[in-house]
Structure 1
Amino acid sequence: MDDLAGFLRTRRSRVDPAAAGIPVDRRRRVAGLRREEVAHLSGVSVDYYVRLEQGRATQPSEQVLDALARVLGLDETEREHLHRLARQRRRRAKVPAARVRPELAHVLSLISDAPAMLVNHRLDVLAGNRLAGLLYGRPLPGLNSARHIFLAEAERGLYAGWETCTLDVVGHLRLAAGQFPDDPGLASLIGELAMGSERFRRLWARADVRARTHGRKDYRHPLVGLLELHQENFALPGESGVEMIVLSAAPDSPTADALRLLATLAAPDDTAASGRSAAAGRIDTVAPRQGGS
């Protein structure tokens, strides 16, 4: 799904030669740095760097990777991704099981005034509280955020910042592909998105990686209007690849009022369960299929 050679090629093509101290004239037709220039600036032989980009060199040292990261101008997320890709042949990460511990489901049930979900590395929603179901306007079992953004909602749907969301999703999936290269479900999802979305194909070809841990996330809800929320991603120790996502509103804000109004409405699957579930207490859980949803 992702490899060291391809990542090096895309990063090399984006380096400004002038910024790297390379003289540039009008005859230069190469986008970014040449292979020999990367080799020279990072202190490795041209032959060795060529073999890296061809996938023929194995186990580059930490020092070589750090030098390449410096020359290619990688940020911290990209640097970690580079090291992870280089380790793939030595140590393959085990694909985590799709499961939700009852204790985690109980924690979600305690969050009553903010949408909260458990999401795995494929962006499958493993579990969510009632307000999360109301936000998405559908039962959470079977929801995959990447598929929802690229194939279901597109530009005119739930996500007020749709273009930014697509960048975050592709960057996340690139990181996941580097961490779990042997996951057939992730490979299947990426293939489905590439077949169904031109924007996904374009963004995937850029090989950008992103690690979003917090930030603004706006939704355009059909019943309560614009929701300006703050997203926090909490990594869960012992739950490989799984994060808890909580979407909160600023106190005493119009969005906080809108969430309270939303909580009084009936969830998509509330009718059959209304006699059995408390408003803030029901948790939807799912073990997603291998294809990523």
Structure 2
Amino acid sequence: METLLLNKEDVDVNTPMPELISAVEDAFAAYENGDAQMPAKSYIDLPQYNGDFRSMPAYLDAGSWDAAGIKWVNVHPDNPDDFDLPTVMGTMVYSDPENAYPLALMDGTELTMKRTGAAAAVATDHLAIEDATSFGVVGAGVQAYTQLEAIAAVRDIEEVVVSDIDDEAVQKFVDYFADDFDVRGGSIADAGHCDVLSTVTPVEEPLVAPEDLADHTHVNAMGADAEGKHELADDILLASKLVIDDYAQTTHSGEINVPYNAGVLTDADIYGEIGEIVTGQKDGRTTDDTVTVFDSTGLAIQDVAAAHVVYEHADEHDNGYPFDLLGV
């Protein structure tokens, strides 16, 4: 048997967004229905290197398919300056759950960007207004691109506003999507008054205020993935229909972690988990809703679902590099 090595380009080619969104939604449903195993994300802190490692294993049974894997990912902020390497890198090991054979090793960085966009799209599909045509994004880094790509797959997006303190990054984003959307740079309030807003920044002091949003905006809070990170003002979280991806992760390291652990926000302020909505146990957007918020920390089940899509298409397209990892 052989293991398939898949690089960034392979992952990109083999993740058709509509199929990826469907797979991530299946993963949320499997987790809610008790058909998934996802141990808590574990951390190895390396203060001597100003970084950390994180391991994210999961198994899920989506009915017509099941899959298992683990993502090994780092966050080393000094990498770009000191080593000319990305701050975040990831490697995904995708295994056959029946016999545990490692079917593939793939780039986990591109995989993370793709599945993060897909998760926002699942939430947007259930929580944004049906006739949404405008999308705003705060933060013009790499995550912003797949946010737009994915959300445009579930809503007919025409107008796009991107906000970032880095004018060069804004222009790069505008140029990239200029042929597909009416896209421009703008303020946080300009982005926030779109029908859908995604925030993809690493800040620890909230930068989106209540007045920055329209009264119907759906917000995907995607940037907070560690203790102390916090993009949205507490008043937004308290007044919104607040949906989270996983209780343990969001209270520890999601958008709500700061106000929750300060006692400002409580369990009573959380409407539910996205899995409850995709399985129909709780309503998504209703006519009574104003601002809705999805707090996404990123789950290992999403990585496994995305890896499943990548592997199935890589095998179908006969790309990647097969090699004899175990010699069996």
Q: Which structure carries more helix by proportion?
A: 1
Q: Which structure carries more strand by proportion?
A: 2
TM-score, with normalisation over the residues of structure 1?
0.22
TM-score, with normalisation over the residues of structure 2?
0.20
